[in-house]
Structure 1
Amino acid sequence: MALKSRSVTSDGKRVMTMEEFKRWLKKFDADKDGQISKSELREAIHATGGRFGMWKSRRGIRAADANGNGFIDDGEMNNLVEFAEKHLGVRIVQF
């Protein structure tokens, strides 16, 4: 499940819109409950070639999970942008 995007920046980050990012991340929603769990986020990290998936997924959940239930739902996806830009090699742009 490679990241697909329009272009790649000079620092190697893939450029995508928030909607493209959400669609890509939802591919890892293994149980199709509409939420991203820590293990599902770990799979996304590994799919981008990232290392330390367990540690990074724990940090990503903490960074994005506004209601503290341990999952990232659609309303919390925007909270994940900074994490994604740092650890998933993407740059989220507004079009």
Structure 2
Amino acid sequence: MAIFASRAPTDKVEMSVQEFSKWLMQFDYDKDGKITMEELREAVRANRQWFTTWKAKHGLKLADKNRNGVIDDYEICNLVEFAEKHLGRKIISTY
């Protein structure tokens, strides 16, 4: 079982996709550029949310389009709906 350092939630609720990606990647503990279910669970936990394992499984299922078991860099944008619903974030487009 891995023990992860606690990361305090950011006060910023509204963020761009790029800012969200940067925030999420701080939970990439093995620095492989991918978010695992456990790393996503830690992101949910950092936001003081309940049912972290269920929410992380749900988020991974939503975002992992190629079904390789991780959220790759190009799949992070698939987490926008999840972040808004389960992480209390509003992700804005910067186009």
Letter of the 1:61 counterpart: L
Gapped runs of 5+ residues in structure 1? 6-13
Letter of the 1:55 counterpart: W
Q: Structure 2 length normalisation: TM-score?
A: 0.88
Aligned to 1:23: 22
CA distance in 2, matches of 1:90, 1:42: 16
CA distance in 2, matches of 1:3, 1:60: 19
Aligned to 1:41: 40
Aligned to 1:3: 10
* SS of 2:23 mapped into structure 1: helix
Q: Structure 1 length normalisation: TM-score?
A: 0.88
Aligned to 1:94: 93
The reply on whether 1:56 has 2:55 as its aligned counterpart is yes
CA distance in 2, matches of 1:4, 1:32: 24
Gapped runs of 5+ residues in structure 2? 1-6
How many residues are paired up?
87
Higher strand share: 1
Output the aligned Cα RMSD: 0.9
